[in-house]
Structure 1
Amino acid sequence: MAQQLHARFAVHKTQILAEISSPGPDASPKGSIDIHILPLINRLNEHHKIITTSSCSGRMSVFLEGSKKLAGTDSEAIGEGPEPDEKAEFPSGSAGMGGKGGGKWLFVSHDPVDCIDMTPREVSHMLLGGHTLGLHSANNQVLTESVLSEAGTSVSSSTRLVHMKFEPMILHVQTLDLQTAHVILVAALTAGFRESGIMNLGLSEHSFPTIAIRCNGLVMDSIIGVMNASHPGIKMVVDEDYLKTMMLVSSLRFEDNKRRVDAFSRKIERVIFNQGQAPPKESKEERKMRKREEGLRRQRILRAAQTQGGSQL
């Protein structure tokens, strides 16, 4: 029985790895696996009892919702965009860059954006200029500043909202057995991914435990604009100073997210690969220099955020 289970998991893992490594873009906004999380998922996949199925190292994004029909009516409702990156998690017909129901990713970054020296207008243009993804209005007009200012702000069942988001790392891992899944879950929880959990338990005798590694405490989601069918473009409901403040806050959350990812990676090395042996530690001087650089960068971002916040009063 154990041999059959091992053989079935090996076949399952081979199929998933083949899908991940197949050529062509996947269904995520980026179109491929995020390079920042590749070392972690490659390391996990080296273990014969582990396979990663979907992942995103963390991202900041601006997303225009799509629309869909309400059940039993002809009216439209707000739609959702796709889940985080990696092709193994998506069926072949799932939404890609455009999002589900005609939604649009207006801006996506898996890295903090250094906008401290940018003006609020420059930040606004970067996020909502409409050039990167060719966003157009209902009458096929490029969304210029004048079009944005003329759009309506009423909200109804057909209103499409524009979200500005920060989403920390999310990682789904399947394991051969529950014992391995529990070890990974404990590593995730102690690294700060407090909303992690094990799924697929008891669904069927052929399902493998799946650990969803996530941290909702770092999630940020703010509505910054609306689009109505009766108007040709997006109407902003926040000012440009607010957008820059959100970008600065996202930079800080990228740093918090990276610390948790690094902590999780170190714990995985100890509990999965090194059998309790601690990895080599950085020297006191190296740690001092790293902490100093992190502190200086954090102070710079905080000062900019405080200045930006004060300018809105």
Structure 2
Amino acid sequence: MSQQLHARFAAHKTQILAEILSPGPDASPKGSIDLHILPLINRLNEHRKIITTSSCSGRISVFLEGSKKLAGEGSRAIGEAPEPDEKAEFPSGNAGMGGKGGGKWLFVSHDPVDCNDMTPREVCQMLLGGHVLGLGSMNNQVLTEPVLSEAGTGVSSSTRLVHMKFEPMILHIQTLDLQTARIILTAALSAGFRESGIMNPGLTEHSFPMIAIRCNGLVVDSIIGVMNVTPSGIKMIVDENYLKTMMLVSSLRFEDNKRRIDAFSGKIEQVLFNQGQAPSKESKGERKIRKREEGLRRQRILRAAQAHGESQL
């Protein structure tokens, strides 16, 4: 492999690490790297043939789909409220206003939520707040069977669905060469991330492989509500006991997800760092790049720790 390709990958890696440390939140709903996955990311980035590009340690979320647009109708769907009114109606808190297709994150947690001692109504309030018709502070209407039946009618092309999801870890890794990508892919598959794969198998000598580490077998995705143009607001199509059950199931999925992350971390340590895969000798230029990357990682760890009120050497 040419020195030019090594230098190009090193420059690419330095640029990505610098972007991670740039001011302001990133494009994820959380706005920063999850602390649960930070040790794994830092360890992977210590290898000169590897750079992590995007990640999520796993999360449970409630997501309102964006407005559906019809061909030829311009930028606003039929009956869609103006964007400022919609933002005022569905504030997103720390999750960020954006979402795929212009949707809204109503609830996001990257940690299990202990709701054993919460009532189903309290769980519903936590997940959806005052966005649901019948759950506002002025209306404690119980979700009876007729209410649920009515909520499920009138679904059309303009109906926006509310999803409750559990999504396990997803991690994208770019490597200098295909051999390193295959080593990582084998480790991921053996750790239980069975839907992992190399995303750009048709490689040229000038491209870098990209591996997606994922496990769709742990995904939970359920439609729990709908939002039509009128009346304004979300109507639930499941009862509150169902929402609490979903939260309890998601807590178990978090445990399984963590076991797979730990297994993957252990296998990465074994195949990339304990069997001679990491370079034992480096040039002055490579050492300079490595030292800079280590400094960037230390800054990132310190910033993440400070944001969570922790102290770290």
Deviations 1:224-260 (A, max 9, x none): 0000012111000000000000000000000000000
Give the drift of 1:199: 1.4
Look up the match of 1:216. 216
Matches within 5 A, 1:207-286: 207-275=207-275
> For residues 145 and 110 of structure 1, what CA distance do their matches in structure 2 show?
31
Matched with 2:30 is 30
The CA deviation at 1:97 is 3.1
Aligned residue for 2:45? 45
Quote the residue 1:157 is aligned against: 157
Amino acid at match of 1:212: A
Name the CA distance, whole Å, in 1 between partners of 2:170 and 2:155.
32
CA contact (8 A) 1:159 1:229 kept: yes
Q: SS of the residue aligned with 1:55?
A: strand
Q: Do the aligned partners of 2:60 and 2:167 also contact (CA within 8 Å) in 1? A: yes
Aligned residues: 252
Structure 1 counterpart of 2:287: none
Q: 1:63 to 1:143 in 2, by over 3 A?
A: farther
**How far 1:145 moved relative to its partner?**
6.8
Instruction: Tell me which residue corresponds to 1:190.
Output: 190
Please show how residues 23-102 of structure 1 align to structure 2 within 5 Å: 23-73=23-73, 76=77, 96-102=96-102
Aligned-residue Cα RMSD (Å) equals: 2.6
**Is 1:201–1:208's contact at 8 Å kept on the other side of the alignment?**
no
Residue deviations 1:6-45, cap 9 Å, x none? Answer: 0110011011111111121112111111111100001000
By how many angstroms is 1:147 displaced?
9.7
3-state SS in 2 of match to 1:108: strand
Q: CA deviation at 1:158?
A: 0.6
Equivalent-residue separation in structure 2 for 1:242 and 1:168 (angstroms): 21
- Give distance in 2, aligned partners of 1:143 and 1:26: 32
| Equivalent position of 1:283 in the other structure | none
Aligned residue for 1:165, secondary structure, equals strand
- AA at the equivalent of 1:161: L
Residue deviations 1:50-86, cap 9 Å, x none? 0000000000000011114222346849xxxxxxxxx
Q: Is the 8 A contact 2:192 2:260 kept in 1?
A: yes
The Cα of 1:136 is off from its aligned counterpart by 9.5
Partner of residue 3, structure 1: 3
Larger relative contact order (Cα-Cα within 8 Å, sequence gap ≥ 6): 2
Q: C-alpha separation between the residues in 2 aligned to 1:58 and 1:25?
A: 18
Confirm whether residue 19 of structure 1 aligns to residue 19 of structure 2: yes
Moved over 4 A (4+): 142-145, 147-152
Aligned counterpart, 1:127 = 127
After superposition, the C-alpha distances for 1:82-106 in whole angstroms (9 at most, x for unaligned) are xxxxxxxxxxxxx953324442111
Seen in structure 2, the aligned counterparts of structure 1 residues 111 and 17 have a Cα distance that, compared at 3 Å, is same
- Cα distance in 2 for partners of 1:7, 1:192 equals 34
Query: What corresponds to 1:202 in structure 2?
Result: 202
CA distance in structure 2 between the aligned counterparts of 1:199 and 1:231, rounded to whole angstroms: 43
Equivalent residue for 2:113?
113
In 2, Cα distance between equivalents of 1:62 and 1:16 = 30
Amino acid at match of 2:157: S
CA distance in 2, matches of 1:105, 1:247: 16
Counterparts of 1:54 and 1:143, CA distance in 2: 37
Amino acid at match of 1:176: L
Distance 2:123 2:132 in 1: 20
Q: Does the 8 A contact of 2:151 with 2:237 survive in 1?
A: no
Greater shift, 1-10 or 157-166, is seen at: 1-10
**Contact kept in structure 2, 1:136 and 1:143, CA below 8 Å:** yes
What is the distance in 1 between the residues matched to 2:140 and 2:69?
Answer: 26
The TM-score with structure 2 as length reference comes to: 0.75
Indicate the SS of the match to 1:163: strand
Residues in 2 aligned to 1:146 and 1:160: alpha-carbon distance in whole angstroms: 23
Distance 2:161 2:179 in 1: 43
Once residues 223 and 144 of structure 1 are traced to their aligned partners in structure 2, the CA distance between those partners, rounded to angstroms, is: 24
Q: Give the 3-state SS of the residue equivalent to 1:34 in structure 2.
A: coil
> TM-score under structure 1 normalisation?
0.75
Change (3 A) 1:147 1:103: farther
- In the alignment, the residues of structure 2 paired with residue 31 and residue 3 of structure 1 have an alpha-carbon distance, to the nearest angstrom, of 36
